[in-house]
Structure 1
Amino acid sequence: MKTQVCIIGGGPSGLMLSQLLHLKGIETIVLERQSREYVLGRIRAGVLEHGFAKLMREAECGERMDREGEIHEGFYIAHDGIMDRVDLHKYSGGNSVVVYGQTELTRDLYEARDKMNGIVIHNVEDVKLHDLKADKPHVTYRQGDEVKRIDCDYVIGADGFHGVSRKSIPADVLKEYEKVYPFGWLGVLSRTKPVNDELIYAKHDRGFALCSLRSQVLSRYYIQVPLTDNVEDWSDDAFWDELKRRLPTEVAGRLETGPSIEKSIAPLRSFVAEPMRYGNLFLAGDAAHIVPPTGARGLNSAASDIYYLYHAMMDHYLNGDDTGLEQYSQKALARVWKAQRFSWWMTTMLHTFPDNIEYDQRLQEIEMEYLFSSEAAQSSLAENYVGLPF
């Protein structure tokens, strides 16, 4: 097979890039290790920055998002038994975020690819990238006992942290930065009415908590837990009891509980790989960078990579201009590191660290006091939360 752009990874990043390029007449093939059902079964975050929402509309995939998504112009931080609101609309120049589940977003992208007869090949094994420094790289993969080959101009590695793409860059070229946090998030999805119409980030001596939502009848809640905990350690009742302890009394009193639809523990990690280009391979999303979910930057950081790649590929194929391709890694990493800083800051301010000394604890308290005493500090938070310019 031949194509112009071979995309490794059929998650939202790979599908969105494929859709955007297809709309401009640029050929793509997407390879995905898992089945379509598996991809659509993954429960992930759903806070979309305004730039991401615009990109969905440009990809002609935003109709259901605009119809069913929740527009949020602020969120709350609970601390010391009180609730302080961050006014995103006021402090970001009139912007907001859209709360729309990643599963639904991915479903919309799949349906758009189907309508355009886009090529997405699932259940591929032993994917290997070849001749990445040559003018014409190629990709091989196996389906059953048959090995197949795709010749292309460029390879996009959007296959996540554990994918093959980043591992295809020589070790003496790639530099990796990583910080592993000493806790995880236990998340529960329940078919219950959300406890609040906007997200609540809760700082508590017992640990962090987050009240989120997917719709007006589907809620997503998280609590900070030690890395030694397993999902089996937490019954539904134990989870709800602990969540209530970490919320202000008034909020806990109106919390609607119910059986969990999905329950999982995610460790928190910050990670960046540099460079994001090697020859004709370009990394995007979790293949190149991961952030803690505290600041809702993960999927949104991936979207900025796709934005840069989309415009760079357009300039190359439609205008014969390679500037965007040549500058991709530098431009993408500049925004990636800003997202890393913001996610690290939110995580540090809101979580309980097991090895914190009293000095560290006092600094956390002062950070919170300063945030809500300074319009400049709230503007900085809001600007980052709704999304920095691409």
Structure 2
Amino acid sequence: MPDERERHPGPLSGVRVVDLTAMVMGAYCTQIMADMGADVIKVEPPAGDNTRYISVGPEPGMGGVFANVNRGKRSAVLDLRSGEGKDALHGLIEQGDVFIHSMRAKAIADLGFGYDDVAAVNPSIVYTNCYGYGRRGPDADRTAYDDTIQAECGLPFVQEQLTGQSGYVGTIMADKVAGMTALYATMMALFHRERTGEGQEVEVAMFETMASFMLVEHANGAMFTPPLGPAVYPRAISRNRKPYRTKDGHISALVYNDKQWSAFVAAVRPEWADERFTTLEQRARQIDTVYALLAETFTRRTTREWLDLLWSLDIPAAPVRTLDDLFDDPHLNAVGFFETVDTPNGPMRFPGTPAWFSRTPGRIAGPAPRLGAHTAEVVDGTRRLGGLVNGEKN
């Protein structure tokens, strides 16, 4: 019986994306589009996207980070400083539904592919800018990377409140959150186009994205006029908010709402059934004390004993795992999260699409492309429209 994903195309089947992004923010956005069925043409300079070279891989130019965020795309090498390369890109734009880039505004304009230039070729296109800082502010021309955006949006500050030491979080959060924001913004513009036929320009900036992300809970009392407190959510930065040590390891557990607290107290610490911690509001006001009491309690049993008890009480709890553990996780494997794809370098096991669709499921469209591997296909496509190309198939 055919795989459900083979019988139904992805929700973005038929959408063509002209992808001039590099590194992770924009590439993660278009990787999700490719997983969901879009034809993503990755336009690269002759030297290729720098992400090809920043991590281990089976051959030069095919590092693991690149292979993951560019899976299922087609790579075309175009020299956009040449007339031939520009003509080839114009041909792609004529056929495109989405044009997305991660260059600074002046750089893309100097190449002749600002929004007005692209819209003149294809007025219905959705044109997405992926920037470090929005163009309307004084920092528009500053260079931005994940670390610097983490610093400016307050992540090292909250890490210092939490751990006592300023630091970045252990993932390129700004790149990925901004990439997902670029995705939903682009999809909203495509939805508008489906209703009206109108293309438009979209701008997503890492700094603004992460400021919004961080202030979801941390805006807190600072939102009010006059302020009712500082911009910080106390529970998230409690020094005692960390995995609990058990007799033989660590466990993550959140005894949070009143139902969970009552169940835990009845089963483990009946002496806490007094008026000090009865309600969530009371516990929130003295969260450090609550966390400290729980930390001492969790040292009394093994991790396995705690998991069995907490799960039986419907209290959120989980073992503390490594990233390598994810590849052998029973739940992830049961839901088919990982997909093995044949590549020129042998089978690769990709983390799959986290969203499930009953009629239009996504899937890994294929491996990441070698540099310029699809230039000939792009040449043929643009020639049918009278275009020219400058690039070599590798």
Normalising by structure 1, we get a TM-score of: 0.30
User: Hey, which of these two has a bigger chunk of strand by percent?
Assistant: 1
| Greater RCO, 1 or 2 (C-alpha within 8 Å, sep 6+) | 2
Compare CA radii of gyration and give the structure with the larger one: 2
TM-score, normalised to structure 2's length? Answer: 0.30
